[in-house]
Amino acid sequence: MSPSESIRFFSEKEVANHCTKNSCWVLTGTRIYDVTGFLRIHPGGEALILSRSGKDIRTEMEGPPHRHSGNARRWMEQYYIGELDTDGSADEIQELQANS
Protein backbone atom coordinates (compact mmCIF):
# COMPACT_ATOMS: atom_id res chain seq x y z
CA MET A 1 0.00 0.00 0.00
CA SER A 2 1.51 3.30 -1.02
CA PRO A 3 1.58 6.30 1.33
CA SER A 4 -0.89 8.15 -0.92
CA GLU A 5 -3.58 5.49 -0.46
CA SER A 6 -5.98 5.74 2.44
CA ILE A 7 -6.09 2.89 4.91
CA ARG A 8 -8.82 0.34 4.27
CA PHE A 9 -10.70 -1.16 7.20
CA PHE A 10 -12.18 -4.65 7.33
CA SER A 11 -14.47 -6.34 9.83
CA GLU A 12 -13.47 -9.51 11.70
CA LYS A 13 -16.19 -11.33 9.77
CA GLU A 14 -14.75 -10.25 6.44
CA VAL A 15 -11.22 -11.29 7.44
CA ALA A 16 -12.51 -14.68 8.62
CA ASN A 17 -14.14 -15.23 5.20
CA HIS A 18 -10.74 -15.18 3.48
CA CYS A 19 -9.53 -18.60 4.48
CA THR A 20 -9.03 -20.49 1.23
CA LYS A 21 -6.19 -21.22 -1.14
CA ASN A 22 -7.68 -18.63 -3.52
CA SER A 23 -8.01 -15.89 -0.90
CA CYS A 24 -6.01 -16.15 2.29
CA TRP A 25 -5.79 -13.31 4.81
CA VAL A 26 -4.08 -13.26 8.21
CA LEU A 27 -3.81 -10.71 11.01
CA THR A 28 -0.99 -9.52 13.21
CA GLY A 29 -2.78 -7.50 15.84
CA THR A 30 -4.97 -5.16 13.83
CA ARG A 31 -2.87 -5.29 10.63
CA ILE A 32 -4.32 -7.40 7.81
CA TYR A 33 -2.27 -9.18 5.16
CA ASP A 34 -3.46 -10.92 1.99
CA VAL A 35 -0.91 -13.73 1.82
CA THR A 36 -2.59 -15.63 -1.01
CA GLY A 37 0.39 -15.04 -3.30
CA PHE A 38 2.82 -16.21 -0.61
CA LEU A 39 1.16 -19.57 0.12
CA ARG A 40 3.04 -21.58 -2.49
CA ILE A 41 6.45 -20.18 -1.49
CA HIS A 42 6.10 -20.29 2.30
CA PRO A 43 9.04 -22.37 3.60
CA GLY A 44 6.76 -24.15 6.09
CA GLY A 45 4.24 -25.06 3.39
CA GLU A 46 0.89 -23.59 2.43
CA ALA A 47 -1.13 -25.84 4.76
CA LEU A 48 0.52 -24.18 7.75
CA ILE A 49 -0.71 -20.73 6.74
CA LEU A 50 -4.11 -21.97 5.57
CA SER A 51 -4.75 -23.54 8.98
CA ARG A 52 -4.29 -20.08 10.52
CA SER A 53 -6.04 -18.03 7.84
CA GLY A 54 -8.52 -15.44 9.01
CA LYS A 55 -6.84 -15.37 12.43
CA ASP A 56 -4.22 -13.43 14.36
CA ILE A 57 -0.81 -15.04 13.82
CA ARG A 58 1.25 -13.01 16.30
CA THR A 59 1.86 -16.03 18.54
CA GLU A 60 3.07 -18.09 15.57
CA MET A 61 5.32 -15.27 14.37
CA GLU A 62 6.96 -15.02 17.80
CA GLY A 63 7.38 -18.78 18.21
CA PRO A 64 8.02 -21.34 19.54
CA PRO A 65 8.84 -23.47 17.70
CA HIS A 66 10.04 -20.94 15.14
CA ARG A 67 10.53 -17.24 15.75
CA HIS A 68 10.32 -15.38 12.44
CA SER A 69 13.24 -13.11 11.58
CA GLY A 70 13.12 -9.37 11.10
CA ASN A 71 13.64 -10.03 7.41
CA ALA A 72 10.54 -12.26 7.33
CA ARG A 73 8.54 -9.52 9.04
CA ARG A 74 9.74 -6.92 6.53
CA TRP A 75 8.94 -9.30 3.66
CA MET A 76 5.40 -9.70 4.99
CA GLU A 77 4.74 -5.96 4.67
CA GLN A 78 4.37 -6.26 0.90
CA TYR A 79 1.14 -8.19 1.57
CA TYR A 80 -0.37 -5.54 3.87
CA ILE A 81 -3.89 -4.54 2.76
CA GLY A 82 -5.44 -2.71 5.69
CA GLU A 83 -6.52 -2.62 9.30
CA LEU A 84 -9.03 -4.46 11.42
CA ASP A 85 -12.07 -2.34 12.19
CA THR A 86 -12.16 -2.41 15.98
CA ASP A 87 -15.21 -0.18 16.45
CA GLY A 88 -17.64 -2.08 14.21
CA SER A 89 -18.16 0.61 11.58
CA ALA A 90 -17.05 -1.69 8.72
CA ASP A 91 -19.93 -4.07 9.52
CA GLU A 92 -22.38 -1.15 9.55
CA ILE A 93 -21.15 0.06 6.16
CA GLN A 94 -21.47 -3.44 4.67
CA GLU A 95 -25.03 -3.74 5.99
CA LEU A 96 -25.98 -0.36 4.52
CA GLN A 97 -24.51 -1.30 1.16
CA ALA A 98 -26.32 -4.64 1.16
CA ASN A 99 -29.66 -2.97 1.94
CA SER A 100 -29.26 -0.25 -0.73
pLDDT tens column, 2-14 = 555 789 999 999 9
The helix/strand count (H/E) of the chain reads as 5, 5
What CATH number labels 9-99?
3.10.120.10
The average pLDDT across 44-73 equals 83
- Whether 59 and 28 have beta carbons less than 8 Å apart is answered as no
| Per-residue pLDDT tens digits for 73-98 | 788 899 999 999 988 765 555 555 55
- pLDDT, residue 48, reads 87
| Per-residue pLDDT tens digits for 8-43 | 999 999 999 999 999 999 999 999 999 999 999 888
- Whether 6 and 12 have beta carbons less than 8 Å apart is answered as no
Where do the domains of the chain lie? 9-99
